[in-house]
């Protein structure tokens, strides 16, 4: 009997998304992963997944570029960032289109993401000012003391799918401004926009090797976490991976900041303007299909606020237009993958079984069936212990928990394992001020549902939403990407010199 040879697998005709090493697009050497258009459900490209040797190439390139980059003057670094800023503005529609194509969010939302990322570049343009040290003349007689901040070397950034441009910009703007070289490992689910960011930086004058982009999965992340030449790691993603990255990176001697997941509660007090609170809850819960770490996922309706608020939210949801992100009439796009959409749908199924009330059911919608769409869902009478309350869902599902008092609502916020963002809606300034004092959450909104701080503050949650002690971007970003050195100097007359074994004192 003749053996039948298996038919050779035809080479893929899909476009390949390569790495960016030493200032050039660089094809990968092996494994790839499909990249989908979530609005159509179709595979549209393959992204290269780096193996250990490819990550090593990126780190080697970054290491080689470091000495010259750290010697580059502050004003030149600032000039390059200004040039980058101009290019980001000029190309924002192209960047937004790439985000929508792979992530699914609407074009307007992608432009919003870019605008918030841009703020970080503008902040970093001020690096000559940001890196000014302190100087104490005459700390002791004839002795001056001053402090300087120096870059760490090669630093790595590992980023999530939900903000494929903004989160890389949170990291790399400050890291590069401070004189570090950078290896970025973006999400493998929507990787393309980072290549355009790298190209724009090159056009603006960034020397080759200062920024490298390696696509990949756990293999690439693990190599970055253990590579002896990587000095620090910034991570943004889900809590289990954030904790893993923090523990593994610090065990290997690295400075690590790892931002994790969230379950953001919005308290609505009985005195709040119900229409204003309902508009805010809908905007914050369903924008970007709920795939935002600062999305409101739980409304805590206090006392008499509950019934009118649930009605007001429910009334708004059928009017939300769900559809492809590149359709200008869509307000909410699809979820990132089919598996994630099905997982989110599973939470709605379970909520019903667990006794909650599905007031608006997003499982029924009119968006294209082949895309990864789910409609806006509102679940009332949710309780702690139900899966839809306990887990981060990361989809267009808003849970309402009814609380009798402010104290009961506050206890729920403070006993939640996450502490990323929260908000209170009220007309009572005293109540809001008390909340700001009481609440154990890193970012607080008062009548502001998505309180993402401006770039000159820093972004970070508490508890399981952040591992490490430095928040991201803003002043804490500059602190994270530099280390301090203090110089004590004197210029004595040699004629006065003598041996003195006493411990130096200053008086
Ligand atoms: P994720 O944790 O799955 O992935 C984040 C990064 O980690 C990606 O680059 C991915 O390739 C890598 N990764 C995934 N699994 C890994 C593993 N086992 N070992 C090593 N690396 C691994 O997160 P995601 O799904 O891309 O993003 C959504 C999550 O990110 C949500 O939980 C959201 O709340 C969170 N998030 C948090 C913030 C924040 O600022 N706190 C901001 C945005 C997103």
Nearest to 237 by CA among 339, 158, 166: 158
CA separation for the pair 477, 471 (Å, rounded):
7
- For residue 81, the model assigns a pLDDT of 98
pTM: 0.96
Place 2 in a pLDDT band, splitting at 50, 70 and 90.
low
For residue 161 and ligand 1, the question of a CB distance below 6 A is answered with yes
Best mutation site among 160, 252, 395 for ligand 1 pocket (most ligand atoms within 8 Å of CB): 160
What six digits make up the tokens of 429? 């300034």
- With tokens 């598996």, the residue in question is 339
Residue nearest to atom 10 of ligand 1 (CA): 187
The domain locations on the chain are 16-260+465-486, 264-446
Residues that are catalytic: 293
Mean pLDDT lowest among 335-344, 428-437, 498-507:
498-507
Residue 8 pLDDT: 66
Q: Is the CB of 188 under 6 A from ligand 1?
A: yes
Distance 442 CA to ligand 1 centre (A): 19
Q: Are strands 32-37 and 42-48 parallel, antiparallel or unpaired?
A: antiparallel
Distance 242 CA to ligand 1 centre (A): 7
pLDDT digit string, tens, across residues 300-328 = 999 999 999 999 999 999 999 999 999 99
CA distances from 487 to 103, 133, 144, 376, 452 (A): 48, 11, 8, 58, 37
Q: How far is the CA of 237 from the centre of ligand 1 (A)?
A: 3
ipTM: 0.98
Q: Is the CB of 187 under 6 A from ligand 1?
A: yes
Asked if residues 99 and 112 have their Cβ atoms less than 8 Å apart, the reply is no
pLDDT digits (tens, 9 = 90+) for 59-100: 999 999 999 999 999 999 999 999 999 999 999 999 999 999
How many Å lie between the centroid of ligand 1 and the Cα of residue 215? 14
* CATH number assigned to the domain covering 16-260+465-486: 3.40.605.10
Q: With CA atoms as reference, report the closest residue to 274 among 263, 282, 285.
A: 282
Position in ligand 1 atom list of the atom nearest CA 187: 9
Q: Which two tokens stand for residue 346?
A: 């599973």
Give me the chain's average pLDDT, please. 97
Asked if 376 and 360 count as a contact pair (C-beta separation under 8 A), the reply is yes
Decide if domain 264-446 falls under CATH 3.10.330.20. Answer: no
pLDDT band at 507, cuts 50/70/90? confident
């Amino acid at each position: 009997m003749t053996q039948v040879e298996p038919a050779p697998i035809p080479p893929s005709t899909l476009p390949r998304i390569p790495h960016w090493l030493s200032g050039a697009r660089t094809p990968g050497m092996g494994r790839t992963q499909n990249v989908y258009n979530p609005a159509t459900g179709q595979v549209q490209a393959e992204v290269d997944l780096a193996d250990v040797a490819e990550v090593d190439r990126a780190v080697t390139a970054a290491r080689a570029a470091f000495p010259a980059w750290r010697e580059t003057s502050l004003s030149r670094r600032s000039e390059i960032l200004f040039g980058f800023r101009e290019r980001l503005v000029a190309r924002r529609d192209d960047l937004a289109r790439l985000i929508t194509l792979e992530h699914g969010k609407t074009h307007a939302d992608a432009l919003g993401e870019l605008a918030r990322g841009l703020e970080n570049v503008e902040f970093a343009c001020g690096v000559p000012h940001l890196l000014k040290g302190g100087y104490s003349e005459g700390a002791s007689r004839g002795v001056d003391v001053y402090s300087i901040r120096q870059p760490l070397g090669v630093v790595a950034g590992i980023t999530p799918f939900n903000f494929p441009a903004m989160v890389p910009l949170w990291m790399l703007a400050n890291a590069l401004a401070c004189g570090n070289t950078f290896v970025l490992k973006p999400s493998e689910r929507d990787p393309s926009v980072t290549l355009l960011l790298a190209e724009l930086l090159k056009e603006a004058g960034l020397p080759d090797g200062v920024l490298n982009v390696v696509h990949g999965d756990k293999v690439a992340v693990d190599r970055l976490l253990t590579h002896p030449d990587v000095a620090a790691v910034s991570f943004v993603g889900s809590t289990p991976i954030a904790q893993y990255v923090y523990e593994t990176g610090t065990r290997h001697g690295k400075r690590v900041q790892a931002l994790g997941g969230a379950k953001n509660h919005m308290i609505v007090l009985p005195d709040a303007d119900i229409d204003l609170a309902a508009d805010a809850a809908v905007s914050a819960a369903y924008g970007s299909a709920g795939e935002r770490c600062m999305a409101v996922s739980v409304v805590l309706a206090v006392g008499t606020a509950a019934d009118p608020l649930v009605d007001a939210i429910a009334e708004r949801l059928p009017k939300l237009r769900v559809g492809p992100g590149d359709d200008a009439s869509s307000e909410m796009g699809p979820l990132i993958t089919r598996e994630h959409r099905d997982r989110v749908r599973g939470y709605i199924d379970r909520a019903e079984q667990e006794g909650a009330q599905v007031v608006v059911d997003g499982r029924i919608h009119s968006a294209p069936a082949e895309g990864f769409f789910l409609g806006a869902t509102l679940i009332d009478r949710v309780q702690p212990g139900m899966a839809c309350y306990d887990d981060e869902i990361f989809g267009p599902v808003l849970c309402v928990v009814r609380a009798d008092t402010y104290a009961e609502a506050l206890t729920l916020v403070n006993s939640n394992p996450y502490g990323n963002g929260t908000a209170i809606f009220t007309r009572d300034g005293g109540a809001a001020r008390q909340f700001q004092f009481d609440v154990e959450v890193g970012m607080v909104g008062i009548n502001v549902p998505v309180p993402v701080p401006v770039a000159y503050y820093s972004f970070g949650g508490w508890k399981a939403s952040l591992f490490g002690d430095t928040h991201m971007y803003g002043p804490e970003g500059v602190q994270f990407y530099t280390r301090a050195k203090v110089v004590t100097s004197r210029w004595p007359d040699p004629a006065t010199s003598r041996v003195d074994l006493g411990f130096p004192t200053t008086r």
